[in-house]
């Protein structure tokens, strides 16, 4: 879909990143219409002390830019803890006084706080909110957002429709460092290194060297890749496609690079400025200047890709050799493994040592097929989550008949069952969910006890189409009390804690939250979700849009890092890849401490495991939890040790011992 452009008054914006004063001067001189920058706290680029702006220099920067008719957008685009959110109120008051042209935000709780404070500065939704469907844009608009930085997986072909139907301004990254994973849905750095990409401290596990292996046998598989950096996506670059960009419906063309130097950014801004002006001045006579293209190639950091703007980039967008990688922030780490040392001393006991047992939490189990459902029910599950993503290597789909069968089994067992929605819901999945919700509303037999939403778009859709209670999944990235309150006002009845949260943080949040809080206690956690299909790219040099040989249905694959960490790659029915942690999460040995948390439920995330494993896992949690509440937990120490010894995969504790690093 092409947008008709008023070439006399195009109202298009070239948006440049700024980390220091010299960069500000340089990019404005080079032709930026707007800049985005951050203060010394609360923004997504906090690695270097010599970057970002003090309050005094930020005030001067806004005055300097406005005097030159350049807009200034201030980033406050992290996830924030409750303490950080409280500290931020003074900073927000300062920003209201100095009046930048917008605030860029990620945290739902921060959006609520800003609305409560009555700030007049416009809100722009960060790319980290992973905005990628129309209901999501409607939800954000209802909460005061005026512009959305769209998901980088959205192509130009879909953007104009979103703009027209939402009425929001659309911003989009056109140049610079990109992520292989869906924005806001990558927990790899946080879970592995305690440095969260959602809080501006990503250590880039996507830039590690890997072997591609058979997940069952460990055999290293030959690939078509010329190097081991299988996830190292290139830098975004659309200079060759200025006409398509101008007609896309995007109003703000965003360049990445708030940690880059002045000379580098000034030249990039200048080249895009010249190209845009040339096309807008004489669109019928426009052609790409080869000097621009040559110069861009000379100063590039990584090799270039158009990412998803025009088509699926596939293996052509990956820097397999690592030759042009400017910096490796990390090279591989061992995940914290549940061993005899941890079994001997509960790492959470000191946090709850004076607390009494809270109300007994329900055991929720997410399952992947009917056999797993039956096993979970027989083993004592209190609540079942089903549907959503399915692994394509298992011979099962959540058809209407299978959903009906599941609901009948649940009704007979008198156990509530909640329908799960996918984490990523592009236009296709939104249409499919719309059909599912309408069908569920018309069911004559047993109905679900609720629907689990994965983003605020599916929340908006569920509100519009169903009468079912709405549960919030961990992918909503609820990190503070204000976010819980916003979701409660939107109709959510239960929230799942964000999986980078620490045990201590969850304790505080659950004690104050107006909604029941559920935590993940066991299972295979997805550290990364990607549109990029590793089996297709590595085995055939193809993408999910090509006709591939569907090797993902024949065997299971994994990535193995230099520390021998084996992270399975699960391909779902949408051909999205889920990169799992090497260690399964396991809180079984520490349920006595977990039982002192004021949480309503503990979830076993078992939809990506074989059905034969489900019964023993659920049974172990059922027995130990019941023993804790009957005062007999000491009797189960050997059961716990046997469970750990027999696990088919190593077990770990996720982020619970330490959480993720705070903001400075």
Q: How far is CA 188 from CA 185, 488, 576, in A?
A: 9, 28, 16
Alpha-carbon torsion (482, 488, 490, 494), positive or negative: positive
Flag whether pLDDT at 50 surpasses 80.
no
Residue 558 covered by a domain:
no
My answer on whether 418 and 275 are in the same domain is no
115 and 59 within one domain = yes
Number of domains present in the structure of the chain: 2
Query: Per-residue pLDDT averaged across 559-564, rounded?
Result: 95
Backbone φ and ψ for 161, nearest 5 degrees, come out as -65, -40
Q: What is the pLDDT of residue 508?
A: 96
425 backbone dihedrals φ, ψ, rounded to 5°: -130, 80
Kindly tell me the sign of the dihedral angle through the C-alpha atoms of 257, 262, 268, 273.
positive
12-30: burial string, b at 16+ Cβ within 10 Å, e else: ebbbbbbbbeebbbbbbeb
Dmax (CA) of the chain:
82
What does the pLDDT read at residue 327?
84
Q: Which domain holds residue 33?
A: 13-178+233-315
249, 283, 315 - which closes a domain: 315
pLDDT, tens only, 434-446: 999 999 999 999 9
Residues 363 and 310 in one domain: no
Say yes or no to pLDDT of 126 above 60: yes
Residue 573, domain member (yes or no) = no
pLDDT-wise least confident of 41-45, 147-151, 324-328: 41-45
Question: What integer is the mean pLDDT of 97-118?
Answer: 98
Residue 328's pLDDT is 81
Integer-rounded Cα Rg, in Å, for the chain is: 25
Token readout for 61 is 């920067």
Q: Are residues 306 and 390 in the same domain?
A: no
Asked if residue 129 is part of any domain, the answer here is yes
Whether 38 contacts 293, CB under 8 Å: no
Domain membership of residue 364 (yes or no) is: yes
Instruction: Return d(Cα 280, Cα 500) in angstroms, integer.
Output: 46
**Same-domain pairing of 302 and 386:** no
User: Rounded to the nearest 10 degrees, how much is the dihedral formed by the CA atoms of 551, 556, 562, 565?
Assistant: 160
The residues that bridge with 470 in the sheet, in sequence order, are: 451, 492
Query: How many angstroms separate the CA atoms of 165 and 94, rounded?
Result: 35
pLDDT confidence tier of residue 238, bands split at 50, 70 and 90: very high
Across residues 323-328, what is the average pLDDT? 87
Which of 398, 396, 394, 395 shows the shortest CA–CA distance to 385?
A: 398
Residues 419 and 493 in one domain: yes
Same domain for 264 and 401: no
**Contact of 30 with 266, CB cutoff 8 Å:** yes
Kindly state whether residue 212 falls inside one of the protein's structural domains: no
pLDDT attached to residue 46 = 55
Beta bridge partners of 147: 124, 169
pLDDT confidence band for 142 (50 / 70 / 90)? very high
Among 288, 315, 342, give the residue marking a domain's end. Answer: 315
Q: What confidence category does residue 44 fall into, taking pLDDT thresholds of 50, 70 and 90?
A: low
Is 274 in the same domain as 159? Answer: yes
pLDDT at position 299:
96
pLDDT tens-place string over residues 618-661:
999 999 999 999 999 889 999 999 999 999 999 999 999 999 87
Q: Are 663 and 41 in contact (CB under 8 A)?
A: yes
Q: Indicate if the pLDDT at residue 663 is higher than 60.
A: no
**pLDDT of the residue at 47:** 57
Rounded to 5 degrees, φ, ψ at 523 are 130, -170
Residue 457 and residue 605 in one domain:
yes
| Per-residue model confidence as pLDDT tens digits over 246-292 | 999 999 999 999 989 999 999 999 999 999 999 999 999 999 999 99
Please provide the average confidence, as pLDDT, over all residues in the chain: 95
C-alpha of 349 from chain center = 31
**Average pLDDT, stretch 317-332?**
90
**441 occurs within a structural domain:** yes
Can you state the percent helix, strand and coil of the chain, rounding each to 5? 40, 20, 45
Has residue 205 been placed in a domain?
Answer: no
Q: Which H/E stretch holds residue 387?
A: strand 383-387
Confidence of residue 333 (pLDDT cuts 50, 70, 90): confident
How far is residue 196's CA from residue 184's CA, in Å, rounded to a whole number?
Answer: 10
Tell me the C-alpha to C-alpha distance, in Å, between residue 119 and each of 53, 110, 115, 116, 600: 21, 12, 6, 8, 35
Same domain, 283 and 428: no
Average pLDDT of 99-118?
98
Output the domain CATH number for residue 648. 3.20.20.70
- pLDDT of 664: 42
Residue 349: DSSP 8-state: G
- The pLDDT assigned to 41 comes to 80
Let me know whether 589 and 505 are in one domain. yes
| The domain boundary residue, chosen from 281, 315, 349 | 315
Structure token pair of residue 428: 């296709």
Residues 32-36: contacts with CB under 8 Å, at least 24 apart: 32/70, 32/269, 32/273, 33/70, 33/71, 34/70, 34/71, 34/72, 34/73, 34/101, 34/252, 35/65, 35/70, 35/71, 35/72, 35/73, 36/72, 36/73, 36/74, 36/75, 36/104, 36/254, 36/258
Per-residue pLDDT tens digits for 203-232: 999 999 999 999 999 999 999 999 999 999
- Rounded CA separation 640/343 (Å): 9
**Domain shared by 485 and 632, yes or no:** yes
**pLDDT average, residue stretch 319-328:** 91
Cβ pair 37, 18 in contact under 8 A = yes
Question: Is position 204 within any domain?
Answer: no
With bands split at pLDDT 50, 70 and 90, how would you rate the model's confidence at 48?
A: low
Provide the β-strand partners of residue 570. Answer: 578
Predicted local confidence at residue 317, as pLDDT: 96
Q: Long-range CB contacts (< 8 A, 24+ apart) of 281-288?
A: 283/5, 283/7, 283/243, 286/242, 286/243, 288/239, 288/240, 288/242
């Amino acid at each position: 879909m092409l947008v008709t452009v008023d070439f006399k008054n195009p109202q298009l914006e070239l948006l440049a990143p700024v980390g220091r004063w010299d960069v500000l001067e340089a990019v404005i001189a080079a032709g930026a219409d707007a800049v985005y920058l951050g203060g010394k706290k609360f923004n997504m680029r906090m690695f270097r002390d010599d970057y970002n702006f003090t309050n005094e220099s930020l005030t001067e920067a806004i005055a300097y830019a406005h005097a030159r008719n350049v807009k200034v957008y201030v980033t406050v685009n992290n996830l924030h803890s409750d303490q950080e959110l409280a500290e931020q109120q003074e900073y927000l008051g300062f920003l209201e006084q100095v009046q930048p042209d917008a605030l860029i935000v990620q945290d739902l709780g921060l959006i609520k706080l800003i609305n409560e404070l009555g700030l007049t500065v416009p809100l722009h939704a960060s790319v980290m909110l992973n905005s990628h469907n129309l209901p999501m844009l409607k939800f954000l608009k209802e909460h005061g957002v005026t512009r959305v930085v769209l998901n980088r997986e959205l192509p130009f072909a879909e953007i104009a429709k979103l703009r027209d139907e939402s009425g929001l301004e659309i911003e989009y990254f056109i140049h610079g460092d990109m992520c292989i994973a869906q924005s806001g849905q990558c927990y790899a750095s946080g879970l592995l290194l305690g440095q969260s990409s959602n809080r501006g401290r990503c250590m880039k596990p996507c830039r590690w060297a890997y072997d591609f292996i058979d997940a069952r046998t460990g055999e290293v598989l030959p690939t078509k890749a010329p190097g081991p950096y299988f996830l190292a996506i290139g830098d975004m670059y659309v200079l060759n496609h200025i006409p398509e960009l101008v007609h896309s419906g995007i109003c703000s063309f965003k360049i990445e690079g708030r940690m880059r130097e002045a000379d580098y950014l000034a030249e990039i801004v200048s080249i895009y400025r010249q190209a845009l002006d040339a096309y807008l001045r004489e669109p019928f006579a426009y052609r790409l200047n080869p000097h621009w293209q040559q110069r861009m190639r000379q100063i590039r950091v990584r090799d270039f890709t158009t990412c998803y703007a025009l088509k699926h980039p596939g293996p052509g967008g990956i820097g397999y050799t690592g030759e042009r990688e400017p910096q490796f922030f990390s090279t591989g780490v061992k995940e914290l493994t549940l061993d005899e040392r941890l079994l001997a001393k509960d790492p959470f006991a000191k946090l709850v040592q004076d607390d009494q047992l809270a109300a007994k939490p329900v055991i929720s189990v997410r399952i992947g097929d009917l056999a797993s459902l039956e096993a979970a029910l027989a083993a004592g599950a209190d609540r079942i989550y089903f549907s959503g993503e399915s692994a394509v290597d298992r011979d099962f789909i959540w058809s209407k008949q299978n959903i009906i069968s599941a609901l009948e089994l649940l009704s007979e067992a008198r156990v509530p069952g909640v329908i799960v929605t996918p984490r990523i819901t592009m236009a296709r999945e939104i249409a499919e969910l719309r059909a599912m919700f309408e069908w569920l509303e018309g069911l004559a037999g047993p109905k679900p006890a609720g629907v689990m939403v994965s983003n605020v778009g599916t929340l908006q859709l569920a509100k519009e189409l169903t009468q079912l209670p709405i549960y919030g999944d961990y992918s909503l990235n609820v990190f503070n009390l204000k976010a819980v309150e916003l979701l409660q006002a939107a109709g959510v009845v239960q929230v799942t804690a964000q999986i980078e949260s620490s045990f201590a943080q969850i304790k505080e949040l659950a004690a104050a939250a107006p909604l029941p809080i559920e935590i993940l206690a066991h299972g295979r956690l997805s550290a990364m979700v990607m549109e990029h299909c590793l089996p297709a790219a590595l085995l055939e040099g193809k993408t999910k849009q090509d006709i591939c040989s569907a090797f993902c249905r024949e065997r299971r694959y994994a990535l193995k890092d230099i520390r021998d960490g084996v992270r399975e790659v699960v391909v779902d029915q949408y051909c999205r890849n889920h990169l799992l942690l090497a260690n399964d999460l396991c809180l079984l040995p520490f349920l006595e401490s977990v039982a002192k948390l004021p949480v309503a439920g503990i979830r076993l995330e078992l939809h990506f495991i074989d059905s034969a494993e489900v019964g023993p896992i659920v049974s172990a949690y059922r027995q130990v939890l019941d023993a804790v509440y009957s005062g007999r937990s000491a009797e189960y120490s050997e059961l716990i040790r046997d469970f750990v010894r027999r696990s088919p995969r190593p077990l770990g504790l996720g982020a619970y011992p330490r959480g993720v690093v705070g903001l400075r």
